[in-house]
Amino acid sequence: MNAVEARDVRVQYERVVALDGVNLVLPSGIALGIVGPNGSGKSTLLKTIAGLVPPTTGTVKVFGKRPQDLAPGTIGYVPQIEDVDWQFPANVRDVVAMGRYPRLGAFARFGAKDRAAVNDALGALDLVKLADRHISQLSGGQQQRAFVARAIAQEPKLLLLDEPTTGVDAATEESLLKVIRALVKAGMPVLMTTHDLDRAAEWFDRLIVVDRRVLADGDPTAVLEGGAYVQIREHTHVHGHLRADRPHS
């Protein structure tokens, strides 16, 4: 059974068409990168797979079911960092622990297994020393690591990441890369949007170019050298951006 199957997916917000005729199949144990200009529908694609945005037409199946019909915690979703309210009263450990809540149910208590999952996630993202610090006191890269750790603590079967390397330093990028590749090696399917193309072949097993629909799909190096990507890159000089350099902030 494939991890993700999207068939003829169209998503429309009033008069704005975000996705139009998207077809995508993703097996387990694959890291899939998603690139495209701003406004191309990359984030909408992740939200639709996560079950946060229903398709206007077409179907999305995750492990053979509609995302909304899956058991809580099956999908781990990490939004763009600017979409997060950093003022809520929580330290880093609290934020990571939130990843366990979908699996607890209404009356279950936070137990030893939950604490172990949180500790493992904190360790994997090198956040143990920051565990008691308020989330708003962290740097952008540290905040990003905290939200990836929350998703990992959830122990999902599918991980969706929306531009997790935007605005982070090189050390954070290396940490994220190591964690994601280890998860994929263990069999987890990962979908990740990105503007950072320099290391696409290190991050991803497959790469797709999206501009409302999937324009190219295949080996990262071949896709980036292909006609569809070149066309998108020329388009972004006027209408958007794709970044071919690594962030340093």
Q: What is the pLDDT of residues 187-228, one digit of tens each?
A: 999 999 998 888 889 999 999 999 999 999 999 989 988 766
Query: Does residue 148 lie within any of the structural domains?
Result: no
pLDDT attached to residue 244 = 43
Count of domains observed in the chain: 1
- Amino acid 139 reads S
Task: Give the other-Cβ count within 10 Å of 152's Cβ.
Answer: 25
Is the per-residue pLDDT at 106 higher than 70? Answer: no
Query: Does residue 208 lie within any of the structural domains?
Result: yes
Alpha-carbon distance values, 21 to 18, 59, 197 (Å): 10, 10, 25
DSSP letter assigned to residue 163: S
* Degrees, nearest 5: CA angle 56-60-64: 150
Average pLDDT over residues 27-34: 97
Alpha-carbon dihedral angle through residues 182, 184, 187, 191, given to the nearest 10 degrees: 150
Average pLDDT over residues 172-177: 90
Average pLDDT over residues 152-160: 96
What distance in Å separates the CA atoms of residue 26 and residue 68, rounded to the nearest whole number?
Answer: 18
Task: Give the other-Cβ count within 10 Å of 198's Cβ.
Answer: 11
Query: Does residue 113 lie within any of the structural domains?
Result: no
Query: Does residue 181 lie within any of the structural domains?
Result: no
Residue 170 phi, psi dihedral angles, 5° rounding:
-65, -35
Tokens of 85: 């309210």
CB 201 within 8 A of CB 31: no
Query: Rounded to an integer, what is the distance from CA 163 to the centroid of its chain?
Result: 7
Is the per-residue pLDDT at 64 higher than 90? Answer: yes
What residues pair up with 196 in beta bridges, in sequence order?
Answer: 243
pLDDT attached to residue 183 = 95
Average pLDDT over residues 118-143: 92
Among 70-74, 101-105, 125-129, 162-166, whose mean pLDDT is lowest?
Answer: 101-105
Query: Does residue 126 lie within any of the structural domains?
Result: no
pLDDT attached to residue 238 = 38
CB 152 within 8 A of CB 133: no
pLDDT above 90: percentage of residues in the chain: 65
The domain that contains 19 carries what CATH number? 3.40.50.300
Evaluated on CA atoms 123, 127, 78, 71, the torsion sign reads positive
Query: Does residue 236 lie within any of the structural domains?
Result: yes
**Residue found under tokens 């959830």:** 154
Query: Does residue 104 lie within any of the structural domains?
Result: no
CB 158 within 8 A of CB 75: yes
What distance in Å separates the CA atoms of residue 133 and residue 232, rounded to the nearest whole number?
Answer: 42
Alpha-carbon distance values, 179 to 49, 98, 201 (Å): 22, 19, 16
Is the per-residue pLDDT at 101 higher than 50? Answer: yes
What distance in Å separates the CA atoms of residue 228 and residue 217, rounded to the nearest whole number?
Answer: 10
* Band of pLDDT at residue 176, cut at 50, 70 and 90: very high
Query: Which range marks the domain in which residue 36 is found?
Result: 1-67+189-249
pLDDT attached to residue 246 = 38
Q: Mean pLDDT for the chain?
A: 88
Is the per-residue pLDDT at 25 higher than 60? Answer: yes
pLDDT attached to residue 239 = 43
* Degrees, nearest 5: CA angle 31-65-18: 65
pLDDT attached to residue 235 = 54
pLDDT attached to residue 167 = 79
pLDDT attached to residue 102 = 84
Burial class (CB in 10 A: 0-12, 13-18, 19+), 84: middle
* Band of pLDDT at residue 234, cut at 50, 70 and 90: low
Is the per-residue pLDDT at 78 higher than 80? Answer: yes
Give the pTM.
Answer: 0.88
Query: Does residue 232 lie within any of the structural domains?
Result: yes
